[in-house]
Amino acid sequence: MTSRERWLAVLKREKPDRLPMDYWATGEATKKLLDYLDCDFATMLQRLHIDLPVSADGVYVGPPIEEGSDMYGQRWQTVEYDSGIYWEPTGDPPLAKYNSAEEIDENYNWPSVDLFDFSHLPEVVRENEHRPVRGGGSEPFLRYKLLRGEEQAFVDLIENPEIVEYCLEKLFAFSYESTLRIFETIPGQVMITYVAEDLGGQSRLLYSPQHIHRFLLPGMRRMVELTKQHGSYVFHHTDGAAREILPDLIDIGIEILNPIQWRCAGMDREGLKRDFGDRLIFHGAMDNQQTLPFGSVEDVRQEVRDNIRILGDGGGYILAPCHNIQAVGPPENVVAMYEEGYSSGWQ
């Protein structure tokens, strides 16, 4: 089977030749792994039997953007941590100074999908016909927090709901139109579409269920409907302890759940598989807080076997780290994860 065929078999709840495996990592972690294996990225994917999707995204072709900024007017800077260099927002958030939706509407220019070109996507698909294609999706509250500032965004849910609703309508509309352009440019080729939002913290939801229902689920449902209309599977990403809201997410139509941070409260693998395994495909579950960075090679191998036994029972599992692999961990553990997944994941 090709990687595309392998993913599709799992998504259709059919039997693949072996367990599909995905790869998420920071640039520093990837470099560390490539140095350890003494090879390039493509060779690494082949050697470790990784079934990495290819991304189908638009390319920005609008007016030049000021260096250090993005098209929303948010400024960024590089910050060096012990395990790598990350882009972090800096300066005043673009919408922090406004006190009403009317003020924002009068003074702020929202980006348009017309600033992007999608004509290259058929060639991307042709060059990667053996790989699953990921395209489109949404994660608007992540952007909202950047536009308003992290703390103010949470305050707005209580004190300025009209600002939240106005901005999320704009952000969802952009995501919808961008996703539609992708579907129309490469019809029938997109396999997975990310309808995402980080809803969980380490021990509980980040937002009340009432706020999720009011501000997020209606727009997410519209994205889900668009995705299914065009034959793509709905890939939902939420970090953390999100079990409480899973039935509601299933009701709006999510099909793949990522990343399965099983050390978080309520996210035990046995319970998730028992209660939702007939309605969800599980993606991830290789712990990136303890096992991959700080465990032994045998700890990693055992976790792979446990994930296959629990989440893969009867099918419906794609092995991947539960977030980006970090450079703080040893590359031996990354290699062990994929080697064990390959050796233990045959049907």
Q: What domains sit in the chain, N to C, each tagged with a CATH number?
A: 3-62+96-344 (3.20.20.210)
**Tens-digit pLDDT profile for residues 318-328:** 999 999 999 99
**Tens-digit pLDDT profile for residues 132-162:** 999 999 999 999 999 999 999 999 999 999 9
Position 81 pLDDT exceeds 90: no
Distance CA 345, CA 338 (A): 10
The residue-averaged pLDDT of 105-127 equals 98
Strand residue runs (E) in the chain: 54-56, 59-60, 75-81, 84-90, 116-117, 133-138, 192-195, 233-237, 256-258, 281-286, 317-321
Position 23 pLDDT exceeds 90: yes
Distance CA 328, CA 315 (A): 32
What pLDDT is stored for residue 85 in this prediction? 85
Distance CA 96, CA 305 (A): 48
Distance CA 226, CA 172 (A): 12
Position 84 pLDDT exceeds 90: no
Mean pLDDT, the chain, rounded, equals 97
Count of other CB atoms within 10 angstroms of residue 188: 10
What pLDDT is stored for residue 86 in this prediction? 87
**Tens-digit pLDDT profile for residues 159-209:** 999 999 999 999 999 999 999 999 999 999 999 999 999 999 999 999 999
pTM of the model: 0.96
Position 347 pLDDT exceeds 70: no
Position 82 pLDDT exceeds 80: no
Distance CA 213, CA 276 (A): 20
CA distances to 14, 30, 43, 97 from 47, in Å: 25, 14, 6, 51
Distance CA 315, CA 10 (A): 7
CA distances to 144, 180, 182, 237 from 193, in Å: 20, 11, 10, 10
Give the DSSP letter of residue 69: B
Q: Is residue 64 packed enough to be buried (19+ CB in 10 Å), middle (13-18) or exposed (0-12)?
A: exposed
The residue-averaged pLDDT of 269-285 equals 98
